[in-house]
Chains A and B, each alone.
Chain A
């Protein structure tokens, strides 16, 4: 994206010189004089060539949009002959099939790298398309928007219907293109500001915010709301500024991190990618169902998370002690080589290894057995310490997604943040994270025989903490969030939990615990009871002013027969009431959790703070019919 570019460029693929000539003729008939700039790429692995034209007459934007739609439809049937894939002033799109390096060469990108306000790129097989032609390649563009997308949108058909009624007539058939069309349509034809268009697309849950102010928008623009997995990075220019928008779906089914340094704003799937460009950037992840919006002149406008300042707090101050044991420069090593070195160390009886310059290598430690202490400097890739049984990892940086999956023993100590799905099916050993953890942290944790896992997060976590949990212990300390109005957990804490315990320091809003029916459904039922004459006005008005309509609040206000009736809305055959207590830790709990929390204090030089934390009030969440607890096993680090 380039703000200074002022001339409209039309870029198209054509299957043959004849098809190109025909397209050029049609274009100039409808839009006026065209200036061909020739073919752009010579070989992107297919027989298609890309052609570029400029439009000196500068026709009306809506006429161009309609012409592009009409011609793309005409030239796609009966068989595909040509396709216009970009037609903005500020947008310049390069699409190809092959490895990124192939596409880079085909377009001779070196000589184009003279500068831009925003670069967006993506490599993947586009969803639900054969992908063999570059018409299906990312990025997708419409007007002054460009979009890349990781995911598979389930609202695709509903979005298509909406776009069809908005006059879009030609689709290459992948959902990513639809996202570009939606953003273009909402901002250019429906007149929405960029931030409102983004908010419509990310599709916040009905109960979210609950002030009703946005409800009308979501109903009116329901055809533009996205559902199913997506991370979208979009670029846009309104001619005055260049915008970068990053969208995360409501379940956060796809990874995304954003970052910032003095000069740039970044977005990527993995933190290691940002760190490769800017080692000291401030990096954070988006909350589910939110978006980041930045502009090149004004910087970050909407961070996609409440209190980013607190979230990125510890990043700058991560101490990096001297390497110990065998020192390995991992910058040029693949994960198999790294794991080979770790195995060799175990064989040779080397007890300590330091991996330097780790840059996103996945699966570190997977399949390595034996006793070993591994220091990691840099950002290890996804799936660190999966299936780990006895290795102790200490990471002086952040970790990415899926750390400690099905880990049975050993430990992972992280001085930065952890991203999504930390400690999935964790069933032994200890995971300590100094900073924050992302979505679906500690899901399906369990314990067996003498194994009981401990997962301690120093900062805060996003949604679905401990979902389906069956055993083990999660502690969220909320360090740094004291005295703020930011809850230290996201929503749906402990849904589907059948065993184990979750300790969150401080108070957790009741609406964040478990999965409750929509507040509006419950209120409707109560209002009905009131109209029926079964519920007195005073109780009804008291309840309708309650922020959370959870079972406990209801049971405080309703007589048993009415409570039984309302609870129909909550109960189902998998429903379990959660036991939620707000209290100090018991002596037995202090005996069990004290050692692991003190280890946390020691590792992160927070000994004194941890002693104070042990005296604080915790919200303790567990299933009412939990399995009988075994006597505490104290695990010394």
Chain B
């Protein structure tokens, strides 16, 4: 059961910030447009549009000072697949399926330079630029078909779809099986995926399922379920990476909150396309430059958010750290499912 509609349009201020960071608007590309303690952000002033909008970062205080990420290190790197692949920041670029191949090539190359994942999901033909960049690409075609990518996507909508033989085939071909699943509260699906050998689970809110829940709820449920199977570093949670994506994600605030709920990577869909203004700009050189700026700007925002919470490492301190958050105006059931405390509790 959802509290909010799936479709949220990215417009107004959120859109303008993305465009400024990308350099499609304004004069300082690659920079967060504002840094401020106060804001008119939801849920306090503007209307919340999602469960994420009810979650606020608790922030640092006297005994736990904030960190100035412009002068001191806040580590945004994420290590995936047992430490085999290092991302410079916990993000990836998705929604490439309707782009001309020339632009797909550009995006794959740019993602590699920036140390983020390119998600080719839904793409029929595979760009040649995957060669040499295999670790930083999730394959487009579903299943083991022909792909150069090291990370092979398998779309799974229910527990019946989990096919251990397929997983074994992918592994024996020297590649990593990645399950792409809808946002569901069917936690048995998540544990079944992890125990059958998938190396990553992509929770994609835009896939349909019978028991759909909000992406943030699904991420939190998945994180908790995997933590409670197995002990310590042998828990399933430490054998599989959790990736989240949805069309409605608006920027680094949403990314930061999804990390705190347990995701390690967030794949950007509409927001990057709107930010670099793909509708009007198709020159690969400009697209590449804007995408770099957008990612660098969002990386700085993530550092500012982590720094404000006194956290200097996204991977070890922020991922799965619900204690950094408090929730405003959420019902008890949702609070307990998310594992986030109500504002004011210690």
Complex partner residue of B109 from A127, A151, A528, CB under 8 angstroms: A528
Q: Give the chain A neighbours of B344 by CB distance below 8 A.
A: none
Closest to B230 in A: A165
Establish whether residues A468 and B313, one from each chain, have CB atoms under 8 Å apart when the complex forms: no
Q: Give the chain A neighbours of B86 by CB distance below 8 A.
A: 520, 524
Kindly identify, within residues 285 to 313 of chain B, every residue whose CB is under 8 Å from any CB belonging to chain A: 292-293, 296, 300, 309-313
**Known contacts A154-B309, A227-B313: does B346 contact A572 (CB below 8 Å)?**
no
Establish whether residues A165 and B70, one from each chain, have CB atoms under 8 Å apart when the complex forms: no
Complex partner residue of A227 from B70, B79, B109, B317, CB under 8 angstroms: B317
Q: Is B82 an interface residue (CB 8 A)?
A: yes
- Stretch of B9-17, B119-127, B321-329 with 4 or more beta carbons under 8 angstroms from chain A: B321-329
Establish whether residues B72 and A165, one from each chain, have CB atoms under 8 Å apart when the complex forms: no
Q: Give the chain B neighbours of A129 by CB distance below 8 A.
A: 346
Interface readout for A125-151 with B: 1 if CB under 8 Å, 0 if not? 001110000000000000000000001
**Known contacts A160-B323, A227-B312, A572-B300: does B113 contact A525 (CB below 8 Å)?**
yes
Q: Give the chain A neighbours of B319 by CB distance below 8 A.
A: 158, 222
Q: Give the chain B neighbours of A189 by CB distance below 8 A.
A: 231-232
Min Cβ gap A502→B in Å is 15
Q: Is A80 an interface residue (CB 8 A)?
A: no
Establish whether residues A495 and B237, one from each chain, have CB atoms under 8 Å apart when the complex forms: no
**Known contacts A152-B63, A189-B231, A528-B109: does B318 contact A158 (CB below 8 Å)?**
yes
Establish whether residues A167 and B324, one from each chain, have CB atoms under 8 Å apart when the complex forms: no
State in angstroms the CA–CA spacing of A251 and B293 once bound together. 29
Q: Give the chain B neighbours of A165 by CB distance below 8 A.
A: 227-228, 230-232, 235, 237
Complex partner residue of A525 from B114, B317, B320, CB under 8 angstroms: B114
Closest to A205 in B: B73
Establish whether residues B233 and A221, one from each chain, have CB atoms under 8 Å apart when the complex forms: yes
State in angstroms the CA–CA spacing of A166 and B293 once bound together. 41
Q: Give the chain A neighbours of B79 by CB distance below 8 A.
A: 215, 219
Establish whether residues B310 and A219, one from each chain, have CB atoms under 8 Å apart when the complex forms: no
Establish whether residues A524 and B227, one from each chain, have CB atoms under 8 Å apart when the complex forms: no
Establish whether residues A128 and B113, one from each chain, have CB atoms under 8 Å apart when the complex forms: no
Q: Give the chain B neighbours of A220 by CB distance below 8 A.
A: 82-83, 233, 238
Q: Give the chain B neighbours of A518 by CB distance below 8 A.
A: 73, 75, 77, 88
Establish whether residues A568 and B109, one from each chain, have CB atoms under 8 Å apart when the complex forms: no
Establish whether residues B312 and A251, one from each chain, have CB atoms under 8 Å apart when the complex forms: yes
Q: Give the chain B neighbours of A128 by CB distance below 8 A.
A: 346
Establish whether residues B316 and A225, one from each chain, have CB atoms under 8 Å apart when the complex forms: yes
**Known contacts A222-B315, A572-B70, A572-B300: does B60 contact A531 (CB below 8 Å)?**
no
Interface readout for A147-175 with B: 1 if CB under 8 Å, 0 if not? 00001111111101110111100000100
Min Cβ gap A574→B in Å is 5
Q: Give the chain A neighbours of B132 by CB distance below 8 A.
A: 531
Q: Give the chain A neighbours of B227 by CB distance below 8 A.
A: 161, 164-165
Q: Give the chain A neighbours of B73 by CB distance below 8 A.
A: 205, 515, 518
Establish whether residues B75 and A206, one from each chain, have CB atoms under 8 Å apart when the complex forms: yes
Establish whether residues B71 and A520, one from each chain, have CB atoms under 8 Å apart when the complex forms: no
Interface readout for A469-482 with B: 1 if CB under 8 Å, 0 if not? 00000000000000
Q: Is A216 an interface residue (CB 8 A)?
A: yes
Establish whether residues B317 and A154, one from each chain, have CB atoms under 8 Å apart when the complex forms: yes
Complex partner residue of B67 from A185, A251, A524, A572, CB under 8 angstroms: A251
Kindly identify, within residues 200 to 252 of chain B, every residue whose CB is under 8 Å from any CB belonging to chain A: 223, 227-228, 230-233, 235, 237-238
Q: Is B31 an interface residue (CB 8 A)?
A: yes
State in angstroms the CA–CA spacing of A215 and B78 once bound together. 12
Q: Is B112 an interface residue (CB 8 A)?
A: yes
Q: From B88, B109, B313, B346, name the one whose CB has the most chain A CB atoms within 10 angstroms.
A: B313
Min Cβ gap A99→B in Å is 21
Q: Is B3 an interface residue (CB 8 A)?
A: no
Q: Is A492 an interface residue (CB 8 A)?
A: yes
Min Cβ gap A423→B in Å is 18
Establish whether residues A218 and B316, one from each chain, have CB atoms under 8 Å apart when the complex forms: yes
Closest to B116 in A: A524
Establish whether residues A227 and B316, one from each chain, have CB atoms under 8 Å apart when the complex forms: yes
Complex partner residue of B321 from A157, A166, A203, A527, CB under 8 angstroms: A157
Q: Is A569 an interface residue (CB 8 A)?
A: yes
Q: Is B140 an interface residue (CB 8 A)?
A: no
Establish whether residues A515 and B346, one from each chain, have CB atoms under 8 Å apart when the complex forms: no
Please report the total number of B residues contacting A with Cβ < 8 Å.
Answer: 57
Establish whether residues A203 and B113, one from each chain, have CB atoms under 8 Å apart when the complex forms: no
Establish whether residues A152 and B64, one from each chain, have CB atoms under 8 Å apart when the complex forms: yes
Establish whether residues B112 and A520, one from each chain, have CB atoms under 8 Å apart when the complex forms: no
Q: Is B65 an interface residue (CB 8 A)?
A: yes
Min Cβ gap B114→A in Å is 7
Kindly identify, within residues 13 to 32 of chain B, every residue whose CB is under 8 Å from any CB belonging to chain A: 28, 30-31
Establish whether residues B317 and A524, one from each chain, have CB atoms under 8 Å apart when the complex forms: no
Establish whether residues B316 and A154, one from each chain, have CB atoms under 8 Å apart when the complex forms: no
Q: Is B115 an interface residue (CB 8 A)?
A: yes
Q: Is B54 an interface residue (CB 8 A)?
A: no
Establish whether residues B323 and A253, one from each chain, have CB atoms under 8 Å apart when the complex forms: no
Kindly identify, within residues 250 to 302 of chain B, every residue whose CB is under 8 Å from any CB belonging to chain A: 292-293, 296, 300
State in angstroms the CA–CA spacing of A152 and B77 once bound together. 23
Min Cβ gap B160→A in Å is 28
Establish whether residues A154 and B109, one from each chain, have CB atoms under 8 Å apart when the complex forms: no
Q: Is B168 an interface residue (CB 8 A)?
A: no
Establish whether residues A492 and B232, one from each chain, have CB atoms under 8 Å apart when the complex forms: no
Closest to B30 in A: A568
Min Cβ gap B343→A in Å is 15
**Known contacts A155-B317, A227-B311, A250-B312: does B231 contact A528 (CB below 8 Å)?**
no
Closest to A128 in B: B346
Kindly identify, within residues 239 to 296 of chain A, every residue whose CB is under 8 Å from any CB belonging to chain B: 250-251, 253
Q: Give the chain A neighbours of B232 by CB distance below 8 A.
A: 162, 165-167, 185, 189-190
State in angstroms the CA–CA spacing of A62 and B83 once bound together. 30
Establish whether residues B75 and A205, one from each chain, have CB atoms under 8 Å apart when the complex forms: yes
Complex partner residue of A251 from B60, B72, B113, B316, CB under 8 angstroms: B72
Q: Give the chain A neighbours of B323 by CB distance below 8 A.
A: 156-158, 160
Establish whether residues B113 and A529, one from each chain, have CB atoms under 8 Å apart when the complex forms: yes
Establish whether residues A229 and B65, one from each chain, have CB atoms under 8 Å apart when the complex forms: yes
Q: Is B6 an interface residue (CB 8 A)?
A: no
Q: Is A298 an interface residue (CB 8 A)?
A: no
**Known contacts A229-B64, A520-B88: does B292 contact A568 (CB below 8 Å)?**
yes
Establish whether residues B311 and A216, one from each chain, have CB atoms under 8 Å apart when the complex forms: no
Min Cβ gap B67→A in Å is 7
Min Cβ gap A203→B in Å is 7
Complex partner residue of B71 from A164, A225, A495, CB under 8 angstroms: A495
Min Cβ gap B327→A in Å is 14
Complex partner residue of A520 from B77, B311, B317, B321, CB under 8 angstroms: B77
Complex partner residue of A155 from B71, B83, B133, B316, CB under 8 angstroms: B316
Closest to B315 in A: A222
Q: Is A88 an interface residue (CB 8 A)?
A: no
Q: Give the chain A neighbours of B231 by CB distance below 8 A.
A: 165-167, 189
Q: From B109, B315, B316, B322, name the one whose CB has the most chain A CB atoms within 10 angstroms.
A: B316
State in angstroms the CA–CA spacing of A206 and B313 once bound together. 10
Interface readout for A507-536 with B: 1 if CB under 8 Å, 0 if not? 000000001001011001101110110000
State in angstroms the CA–CA spacing of A362 and B340 once bound together. 42
Q: Is A380 an interface residue (CB 8 A)?
A: no
Q: Give the chain A neighbours of B60 by CB distance below 8 A.
A: 154
Kindly identify, within residues 558 to 576 of chain A, every residue whose CB is under 8 Å from any CB belonging to chain B: 568-569, 571-575
What are some 6 contacts across the A-B interface (CB < 8 A)? A155-B317, A157-B323, A205-B75, A219-B315, A225-B317, A515-B72
**Given A161-B223, A515-B70: 6 more A-B contacts, CB < 8 Å:** A155-B321, A206-B75, A228-B317, A492-B71, A520-B86, A525-B115
| Minimum-distance CB pairs A-B, first 7 | A157-B323, A528-B113, A157-B321, A154-B310, A152-B64, A166-B232, A165-B227
Chain B residues near A (Cβ < 8 Å): 28, 30-31, 60, 63-65, 67-68, 70-73, 75, 77, 79, 82-83, 86, 88, 109, 112-115, 132-133, 223, 227-228, 230-233, 235, 237-238, 292-293, 296, 300, 309-313, 315-324, 346
